[in-house]
Amino acid sequence: MPQNETRSLKRYAGLIGAIVLCQGVGGLGTIWTTDGVKNWYPKLEKPSFNPPSWAFGPVWTLLYAMMGASAWLTWRKGGEERTMRALQLFSVQMLLNMLWSFIFFRLRSPRWAFVEIVVLWLAIVMTLVAIWRVSRIAGLLFLPYLLWTSFALLLNARIWRLNPDQH
């Protein structure tokens, strides 16, 4: 393999790794959602603005890829305290992201998932601010995730209110 190709592969290995890591977090969340998506979620009353079921997979796949690219661009800045802080916040919000799936679909609790998504949303805002300070391009790549989570927060709240008997 020519030296230039080897350098290109090494350069983008971190990008691929970051995207795979984010997709993996999404995959773990999917493990917790599968039964709930099939057997519980279809029975819930949902607001008129609820997206079709088929839309969630492609949206999350794209968002996780963009989040991975954002983390990679942030990581490439390297070493500075603000970079490390941004990546720590990124890790926290990823854990919270995964936890929401568990609470909503596995525990089948729109109420507690709403509480959790508020905390997640705040963590995403803090992460976005920290990433933006390191790299504006990384911040722009992370922004759609904040927008989608804002929509998901509203959707979660409405599902909770439409299904008060669900814990």
pTM for the structure as a whole: 0.92
Three-class SS of 40-103: CHHHCCCCCCCCCHHHHHHHHHHHHHHHHHHHHHHHHHCCCHHHHHHHHHHHHHHHHHHHHHHH
Domain boundaries, the chain: 3-162
Residue with tokens 């983008």: 12
Query: CA quadruple 160, 162, 165, 166: dihedral positive or negative?
Result: negative
Query: CA quadruple 130, 89, 91, 153: dihedral positive or negative?
Result: negative
The pLDDT tens digits of the residues spanning 56-70 come to 999 999 999 999 999
What CATH number does the domain located at 3-162 have? 1.20.1260.100
The pLDDT tens digits of the residues spanning 107-152 come to 999 999 999 999 999 999 999 999 999 999 999 999 999 999 999 9
Radius of gyration of the chain from its Cα atoms, rounded to whole angstroms: 17
